[in-house]
């Protein structure tokens, strides 16, 4: 005898649909769980990587600031070293003024006595380098600046006579050291209980 299914077809169909709905609901739930879990995992991983990148950027920025400060310090030290080198080279290229004074004393003879001498360095526009306002001098290398400068040596003293003073001026001119020797003034003055010719001479070079 064959089995006869007495359940109505509509109910069987309903059961089959419910079973399929349960399967789809379970599958969708698993899929939603996987999506949420994956999203959370990605956010955690990305957030950790983002923090690491931020820390690396902050460390790099701090390192850049340190290196910039070091660079500024090195540039300042380099500028100071260049200035010191230029100053040394400029000084080495200048005349030995002690030799000038030794040569000058050889021109005095027995008739001339010096009481005072004054040395001055003048710029191209005839301003003394030591005068106030020398800070406005052009910003050029020291060696080039000194090459453009001229010097003046002013001598004050006494001679036994006017002829002795004149001979002294001629000896200075003949020394070849100075570009110009000029007798500024001379007059008779008291000197060591007697009289002598006081004079002032300017030597330009």
Between 162 and 9, residue with greater pLDDT = 162
CATH no., domain 97-204: 3.30.1360.100
CB-CB neighbours of 178 under 10 Å: 19
Q: What is the pTM of this model?
A: 0.47
pLDDT of residue 134: 46
Burial class (CB in 10 A: 0-12, 13-18, 19+), 200: middle
Residue 118 dihedral angles phi and psi, to the nearest 5°: -135, 130
Statement: residue 71 has pLDDT above 90: no
pLDDT of residue 143: 53
Statement: residue 21 has pLDDT above 90: no
Mean pLDDT over 14-40 rounds to 72
Statement: residue 184 has pLDDT above 50: yes
Quote the CA–CA distance of 3 and 177 in Å, as a whole number.
Answer: 146
Statement: residue 49 has pLDDT above 70: no
What does the block give as tokens for 178? 């100075």
């Amino acid at each position: 005898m064959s089995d006869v299914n007495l359940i109505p077809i509509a109910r069987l169909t309903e059961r089959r649909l419910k079973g399929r709905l349960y399967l789809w609901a379970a599958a969708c739930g698993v899929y939603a769980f996987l999506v949420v879990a994956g999203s959370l995992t990605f956010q955690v991983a990305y957030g950790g990587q983002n923090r690491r990148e931020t820390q690396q950027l902050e460390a790099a920025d701090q390192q850049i600031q340190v290196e910039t400060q070091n660079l500024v310090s090195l540039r300042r030290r380099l500028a100071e070293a260049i200035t010191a080198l230029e100053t040394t080279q400029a000084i080495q290229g200048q005349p030995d003024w002690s030799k000038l004074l030794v040569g000058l004393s050889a021109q005095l003879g027995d008739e001339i006595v010096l009481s005072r001498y004054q040395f001055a360095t003048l710029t191209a526009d005839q301003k003394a380098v030591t005068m106030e306002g020398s800070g406005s001098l052009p910003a050029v290398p020291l060696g080039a600046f000194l090459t453009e400068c001229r010097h003046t040596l002013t001598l004050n003293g006494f001679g036994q006579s006017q002829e002795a003073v004149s001979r002294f001026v001629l000896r200075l001119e003949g020394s070849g050291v100075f570009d110009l020797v000029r007798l500024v003034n001379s007059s008779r003055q008291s000197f060591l209980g007697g009289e002598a010719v006081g004079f002032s001479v300017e030597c330009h070079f």
